[in-house]
Structure 1
Amino acid sequence: METLKRWRLLHGHFVFLLLTIVTEGSSCPSYLECFRRNTCESVYVCEWSVNRTQTGVTFDLHIGHEPFRDIKETHHEVLEERLIQHRPVNISVEARGRNFSCTSPRRSVLLRDIVKYEAPQNISMLWSENNLNLTWKATEEHPASAEIWVQRDDHHSESWEKIMMNITKWTGDSSAGVHTSFCLSVRNGLYPKHKVTIENLSKRSSYRLQIRQRSTQARSPLWSGWSPVVLVPAELDHKPKVKTRTRDLNGTREVTLTWKGVSPAAAVGGVTYLVNISGSSQNCACKTKTNLTTNKTSFTTYVSYSTVNIFVTARNSMRDSPSAVIHLPAQLAADLKACDNVTLSHKLHKRSCRQWYKLQDTGPNPESTPKKNLQDFIPYFYFEHICEDRKPRTVRMCLFYKKQGAPQSEPQDLIIISDSHSPVLTWRPIPPLQQRGFLTHYQLCSVKISPQVSSEECQNISSSLLMYQLETLEHGAKYNISLAGVTQEGGGPKASVTFNTAPEKQVNVWLSLGLLIGFFFGTTTCTVILKRIKKRIFPSVPKPVLPDFSLFNPENQQEVLEGKEEVSNLTLLQLQPKDMEETSIPRGQWGDGGDGGEEGSEGDDEGPDSTGRALSSSRDGDVMDEEQLDHEIALLIYKNGLVFDVKPESP
C-alpha cells in the first residue's frame, strides 16, 4: 500500500514537470526571418513568432557572431552596416524567461537575397466595364506577383477563388536610371503605384477580396502578409434621380431635395451623398457651408432669389457617381424696374451683400460678376440680400447699368400690316445687350414722299409698346416711317419702312339712289302680295256681338239671374233668285228683336211670328245682292253669342 502511494507521488511530480516543460516550450520562438522591404532599404527586419508569450520574457537575436540582446518584441530592426550581407550567416533567436530558456532552430541564410514586401495597404479600386483595377503603393520598380482571393459578397456560401497574376511593372525616369529614380522617389516619400487587373467580373455585383504580394527579382523572395479584407461595391454608373420641391418664404426659397438610394450592391462598405450649392448668396449674406455630406436620401436648404445650382453626388468606397444637377433660375419680379439710387460706392449694412448677374440672351448668367469686373453699357440683374435667422433673404432686385449710352441697334422687324390710310405698325424690341441703357421712349417719325413731299412729323411713344396705329394719313400717298429707341444719353439708329396708302374709293350716287328706289318698290310689292295670300289662307272671322251690360238695372238683377234664356224655333227661308228683287232686309233689325234686356218683357219671347214679320218688312227696303244676304245670315248665327245651325229648306 505504501509502495502504491510512492508511485502515485512520483507520477504526480512527473506530470507537473511535463506540464512545466510544455508550458515553457510553448514560449519558444519559431519561424525566424530576416529580410529587407525592398532593394532600396538599408535596414533589415527580423521577425519571429511564439505561440504564447509569458510575462517578463525577453529575446536575444543572433545574426552570425553579432548578438542583439534584451529584445521585448517579436521583431527587431538592424542596420546593414552591422551585418554580413554577401555571404551566408547563421541566425537564431533565444527566449529567456524567469525559470526557462529556449532557442529557435539555427538557420543559414544569405541576407542580401531575401526581400519581403509589405502587405498591400490603402487599395484603390476602379471598375472598367467588367474588369476590376486595383492599385496600391508600390514597393519596388520591378514586376511582382500577386495572390488574390475573391468571393462574391452577396453569395457567402460560395468558396473563395484563388487568382495568381503579375503586378504591372512601374517605369521610372529612363534618363536617370530606373533604380536610381525609384529609390530617390521612395526617399522623398513619393511612392508610385502597383496595379493589377482582375478580369471577367460583374460591375453590378459586390465582392470581397484579399491580396498578398511577392518579389519576382529577389533570389529568396518571401510572401508579404495578407491585406485586410477589401469590400468591393458595385459601380455607381448612374446619377441620383433627384426630385425638387420649392416653397417661397418672402425673399427666401426653401428647397427640399429627395432622391432614391443606390442599389444594395453599390452600398456595400457604406455610401454617402455629397450636396454642393453654388451660385447662390450662401457665402454672401450668410457664411454657411456649401459642401455638405449626408447619409440620408433627402436634404433641405434655404437659398435666395438669385440663380442657384445644386449638385448631388453619391459616393462609395469605389468612386463617385455622376452628379445630378438641379438648376434653380433666378426668381425675378414680374414688374422688374430700373435701379434707383444704386451706386457702386453705396455702402450696405454689415450683414447685407449685393450681387450682379450679367444679362444674356437666355437670361441671367449663372455666375455672379464681381463689382470690379462690371462693364459699361452692359445690363445686369442687381440683387441685394440680408441674412435673417441664418437664412439668405433677397430684399431688393432691379436692372442696373454701371454707365448708360445711346442704343447701338434699331428696333427689329419693323413692318406695316395694313395699307389703309390708318395702318398698324409692329416691331420687336431692341436686343437687351444693344440697348446700352434704359429706354425712355421711342421716337416715331413719318414723312410723305409722294405725290408731294411734306415735312417730317415726329412724336414720342411709350417704350413699352410694340404696336402702334398711324392716324390722319392721306389716301393714295407714299410715306416713309422711321422708328428709333431713345435713352437718357440720346437716340439710336432708326429702323424705317416705306409703304403706300390705299386710294380713296369713289361712290356712284345714281347707283345708290336706284338701289334705294328698287328696294322701296320691292318691299311694297311683297307686302301687298303677302296680305292677299294671308286673306285667302286665313279668312277673317267676324267678331261676336257682345251685349252691353252698362245699362243693366240692379233692381232687376234677381229676376234676370233667375230667368232662363229660351230660343224659339227659327225657320229661315231661302230666297230664290227670282224673289231677290222683291226682298230687302234692313240692316240692324236682325238683332233688335232678340235684345230682351233693352226691349222689356216682350223682347224675351221670340218665335216664328216675329221672324216672319221681319222678313215681310224687309220687302220695303233696298234690294240686296246675294253677297250681302250671305253676310246678314252670318251675322244672324252669332246673335247674342249663340250659334244657330241653319239648314235651308228644300223648295
Structure 2
Amino acid sequence: MIIFLLYLMETFQHLSSLNGYVIFLLLATISTGSACEAPSSPLCFRQDEDKNVYICEWDFNTNETEVTFDLYFNDSSEIAYNDKIGDIKENHIELGDERLIVASRVDMWVKARAGKSICTSPIWSGTLEHTVKYEPPQNINVSWLRNDLSLSWESKYPSLAEVWFRKDHTESWEKRLMNTTNKAPIQILLVVNLLKNTAYQVQIRQRSIQAANPLWSDWSPVVTVPAEFEQPPLVRSTTTLLNGTRQVNLTWERMPQAAAVTGVTYIVDVTQSSLGCPCNTVGRTGKKKSHNTKLNRYTVYVSYSAANITVTARNAAGLSPPAVVHVPAASAPDLKTCDETMLDKKLKNDVCLEFYELQDADLIPERVWCLTSKNKTSKTKEIKHNMKDYTRYLYFEHKSEGGKPQTRKMCLYYKKEGVPSKEPQNFMTVSDTHDSADLTWKQISYEHLRGFLTHYKLCTVKINSQSKPPECINISASATKHHLKNLTPATKYNVTLAGVTQTGEGPVAMESFTTLREKPFNVWISFGLLLGFFLFSIFCTVVLKRIKSKVFPPVPKPVMPDFSLRPPESEEMWERKEEVHEVTLHRLIPDQKPVSEATVLKGEWDDEAGRQVEKDGCCSGESDDERSSVASGDDTLRKADLKGLEQVETELAMLIYRNGLVFDVKSESL
C-alpha cells in the first residue's frame, strides 16, 4: 500500500490543478481506512489588522485521550506536501507570518491522529493577510442616555457589531446590527428606543469592516444591564453630639429591584465644608473622604464645623443623582470671643484650623480658610491679608483622635473689633398701665455689630425732670424685650437703647411714652373684690355645715329630769303631784265602736286611787257615806266600761307618758 501511495504521489506531482489534488486526498483518505470523525477546516486569522501573528484553530470531536494534529498548507498554484507543522497537541496554534504563506492564496487542511485512526479535514482556501477575526468584546461598560443604552468596550478599530438583547430570561432575543463609533481605544455602540427603567440582558459579537475577509468574533459573555437610577437615595440623618465630635447616622431606602438586579454599592462622601476644606481628612490634604457600603445605613463622624455628606448609589449602568445632607456648624449659644488662636503658632500634623466668615445668625459659612501643617506657611499671610476688620469669623481647632475628627476649640474671632454701626431696629414702647411699660426691639444684624456684643444699655428719664440723671441698666445681649416697672402715673418718659461691644457703645435708639393716669375707682374695685371674697367665704361655710348635717346627723341625748330626793309630806300628796298627759289610743280595727279615752284613763286612775285608799285606811278623813257613795259610783262606771271593752275583739295599744317617760302597755282584754 505504501508503494502504491508513493507511486500516486509521483504521478500527481506535476499536476497543478486543484482537481487533481482533491482526487489525491480522496484516495489517501480511502487508503487509511479512517473510522474517526473528520475535524473541521482550519481557520487562520489575525486578531488585529496590525498584528503579524496568526491563530489557526479547528474543531475535532473524539473520545481518544491522545490526539495529535498535523497542519498542512501550500500555495494553490503548486502542490508542496512538505509544508506542514506536525505534532500539535491542541486544536489551535499561533504562528508567525514567516512560517505561513500570507500574501497569496493558500490551501490549508488538518490531519488528526486519534489512536490508530487518521482523519483529514476539508480544505480551506484563501489569503491569510485578508482574514481578520476580532476578539469577542470584553469588559463591556453600560450606561443609560435617556431611553438609549450605550455599550462600550476596548478595541482599536471600528467594527460591525451584532447585539442581541432581551428584557428577561423568558422573552426571546432581539437582534440589531450596527456600526460602532471609534473613540480610540474605545468602541461605543448606542442601542436606541429601550426602556431605561427595565433591566436587560445583552451579548455582543463584532467583525472588522476594514479587512477583505472578516470573520465574526465569538459571542461576549451575557451582560445584565440594570435599570437607570432615576432618583437619588432618600436619606435620613440623625446627629448626636459626643465629646468634641458629632456622630451622624445615615439611613436610606433601598433602590428599586430593576436597578438593583446586579447589586448596588452606596458611596458616602464627607466634605467638611462647602469648599472642600481638608480638615476632615487630616494628613490626607485635598482628598475626599469616601466610604463604600452595600447596606442601606452608615455612620460617619464629623467635627463641629459645617459638613456636606453625599450618598450616591452605583450599579453596573452608572451612578444615581447624589443625595446631599448638609450638617450645619454646631450652634453654641454662649460663644465668646477667642482669647488666643494658633494662627501664629506651629501646627502638628494632626491639627487643622478653620476660619469661617459669617454673615448671619445660623453660622452658615460664606467664606472658609483652612490651615494645616502642610499649607500653614503659604496661607497664613494670605489669611491675615484677606481678613477684614470688624468682621466676625468663626474659629475652629480640629484634631484627629482615633481616626475621628474632634473640635478642641470653637469661638468668635475678630481681626479688629469696633462699636456697632447701627442701633437696635424696630425699637417700640407700649404703656398700658399707670406704672409699667413693655419695650421690644430686633437684634442688631451681624454685619453691623463690628464686634462681640456684650450687652444692651437701656436708659430711662422723666421728661419733666431733666435735672435728674437717667436711670440705666444692662440687658442681656440675647434679649429682645424688657418690662419697665415702678413708673410714675401720668408721666412722660424718654427711653434709649444701645448695643455695647468690648470697644464701646454704638448708636442709640430712642422712644418716648406716657404712663396712664391712676384711676380712683381702682380702690373701690379692690374693696369690692375683698367684700365679695368675704361673702363668698361665709356662703361656703353655711353650705358646708348644711351638707355636714345632712350627711352626719346629730345623735340625740336622753332627757334626764332634775329632781331632788326628799320625803313627801304624805303618800297621797306624792301621788297627786304626778302629772298625766293626754294620750291617744289608736284603734287597730276602724269599724269597731270607739272607747272613750277619758273613761279608760279615768277608770284606770280611779282604780289605782281606790286601791291606795283601801290600803291606807281612813287617812284621808272622809266619812264612810261619802266613800261608799263614791265607791258605788265608781263601780257603776267600771262595770259599764268593762262591758264596753268586752265588745272590742282586737288588742289595743296604750301609751302612757309620765314625767318624760313613755310606757307601752299591751293588754289582751281590758
Give TM class, smaller chain: 0.5 to 0.7
**Counterpart amino acid of 2:370?**
P
Do residues 210 (structure 1) and 203 (structure 2) align? yes
User: Does the residue aligned with 1:408 lie in a helix, a strand or coil?
Assistant: coil
C-alpha contact (below 8 Å) 1:117/1:139 kept by paired residues = no
Do residues 122 (structure 1) and 135 (structure 2) align? no
Match 2:220 to one of 211, 218, 227 = 227
Do residues 283 (structure 1) and 296 (structure 2) align? no
* Deviation of 1:395 (Å): 4.4
Aligned mates of 2:238, 2:516 — CA distance in 1: 62
Q: 1:492 to 1:204 in 2, by over 3 A?
A: same
User: Does the residue aligned with 2:369 lie in a helix, a strand or coil?
Assistant: coil
Alignment map for 1:180-191 (pairs within 5 Å):
190-191=184-185
C-alpha contact (below 8 Å) 1:62/1:93 kept by paired residues = no
Aligned mates of 1:427, 1:261 — CA distance in 2: 50
Aligned mates of 1:566, 1:350 — CA distance in 2: 125
* Deviation of 1:211 (Å): 0.9
C-alpha contact (below 8 Å) 1:286/1:387 kept by paired residues = no
* Deviation of 1:152 (Å): 3.4
What is the match of residue 30 of structure 1? 41
What is the match of residue 405 of structure 1? 418
Q: 1:323 to 1:63 in 2, by over 3 A?
A: farther
What is the match of residue 555 of structure 2? none
Alignment map for 1:141-156 (pairs within 5 Å):
141=158, 144-153=159-168, 155=169
* Deviation of 1:421 (Å): 7.4
Alignment map for 1:41-440 (pairs within 5 Å):
41=50, 43=52, 45-51=54-60, 59=71, 74-76=92-94, 78=96, 85=103, 88-92=104-108, 106-110=123-127, 114-137=131-154, 139-141=156-158, 144-153=159-168, 155=169, 157-159=170-172, 161-170=173-182, 190-200=184-194, 202-216=195-209, 218-279=211-272, 282-284=280-282, 290-346=289-345, 353-361=352-360, 363-365=362-364, 369-371=369-371, 372=380, 373=383, 375-376=387-388, 377-418=390-431, 423-440=437-454
Q: 1:482 to 1:209 in 2, by over 3 A?
A: same
**Counterpart amino acid of 2:426?**
D
User: Does the residue aligned with 2:447 lie in a helix, a strand or coil?
Assistant: helix
* Deviation of 1:224 (Å): 2.2
What is the match of residue 615 of structure 1? none
Do residues 484 (structure 1) and 498 (structure 2) align? yes
Structure 2 unaligned runs (5+)? 1-29, 274-278, 372-379, 528-558, 568-573, 583-658, 662-670
User: Does the residue aligned with 1:430 lie in a helix, a strand or coil?
Assistant: coil
User: Does the residue aligned with 1:312 lie in a helix, a strand or coil?
Assistant: strand
* Deviation of 1:227 (Å): 1.4
RMSD of the TM alignment (CA)? 5.0
C-alpha contact (below 8 Å) 2:148/2:190 kept by paired residues = no
Give the TM-score taking structure 1 as reference length.
0.59
Give the TM-score taking structure 2 as reference length.
0.58
Alignment map for 1:620-639 (pairs within 5 Å):
none
Deviations 1:574-612 (A, max 9, x none): xxxxxxxxxxxxxxxxxxxxxxxxxxxxxxxxxxxxxxx
Aligned mates of 2:73, 2:268 — CA distance in 1: 57
Q: 1:493 to 1:83 in 2, by over 3 A?
A: farther
**Counterpart amino acid of 1:148?**
V
User: Does the residue aligned with 1:364 lie in a helix, a strand or coil?
Assistant: coil
Deviations 1:474-526 (A, max 9, x none): 887776644322222233333334x3525867989xxx99xx9xxxxxxxxxx
Aligned mates of 2:84, 2:305 — CA distance in 1: 73
* Deviation of 1:208 (Å): 1.9
**Counterpart amino acid of 1:235?**
E
C-alpha contact (below 8 Å) 1:34/1:111 kept by paired residues = yes
Aligned mates of 1:48, 1:480 — CA distance in 2: 107
What is the match of residue 598 of structure 2? none
**Counterpart amino acid of 1:405?**
G
Q: How many residues align?
A: 483
What is the match of residue 602 of structure 1? none
**Counterpart amino acid of 2:188?**
H
Structure 1 unaligned runs (5+)? 1-16, 171-184, 517-545, 557-562, 571-639, 643-651
Aligned mates of 1:412, 1:63 — CA distance in 2: 103
Deviations 1:83-107 (A, max 9, x none): 765xx52243666989999876555
Deviations 1:220-265 (A, max 9, x none): 3322221121111222323333444555544444444344433443
C-alpha contact (below 8 Å) 1:36/1:43 kept by paired residues = no
Match 1:466 to one of 471, 480, 492 = 480
Q: 1:503 to 1:96 in 2, by over 3 A?
A: closer
Match 1:494 to one of 477, 485, 508 = 508
Alignment map for 1:442-453 (pairs within 5 Å):
442-444=456-458
Aligned mates of 2:32, 2:197 — CA distance in 1: 56
Aligned mates of 1:56, 1:290 — CA distance in 2: 59
Q: 1:471 to 1:234 in 2, by over 3 A?
A: closer
* Deviation of 1:55 (Å): 6.9
User: Does the residue aligned with 2:42 lie in a helix, a strand or coil?
Assistant: strand
Q: 1:547 to 1:266 in 2, by over 3 A?
A: closer
Aligned mates of 1:338, 1:56 — CA distance in 2: 90
C-alpha contact (below 8 Å) 1:145/1:164 kept by paired residues = no
Aligned mates of 1:248, 1:555 — CA distance in 2: 102
C-alpha contact (below 8 Å) 1:336/1:399 kept by paired residues = yes
Aligned mates of 1:295, 1:133 — CA distance in 2: 25
* Deviation of 1:163 (Å): 1.0
What is the match of residue 593 of structure 1? none
C-alpha contact (below 8 Å) 1:440/1:486 kept by paired residues = yes
* Deviation of 1:197 (Å): 1.0
Aligned mates of 1:456, 1:115 — CA distance in 2: 107
Aligned mates of 1:84, 1:191 — CA distance in 2: 27
* Deviation of 1:209 (Å): 1.9
**Counterpart amino acid of 2:455?**
H
Deviations 1:368-405 (A, max 9, x none): 63144473433344444444454444444333334322
Q: 1:233 to 1:362 in 2, by over 3 A?
A: farther
C-alpha contact (below 8 Å) 1:446/1:456 kept by paired residues = no
User: Does the residue aligned with 1:273 lie in a helix, a strand or coil?
Assistant: strand
Deviations 1:54-87 (A, max 9, x none): 57767566578997968967354656999765xx
Aligned mates of 2:247, 2:75 — CA distance in 1: 73
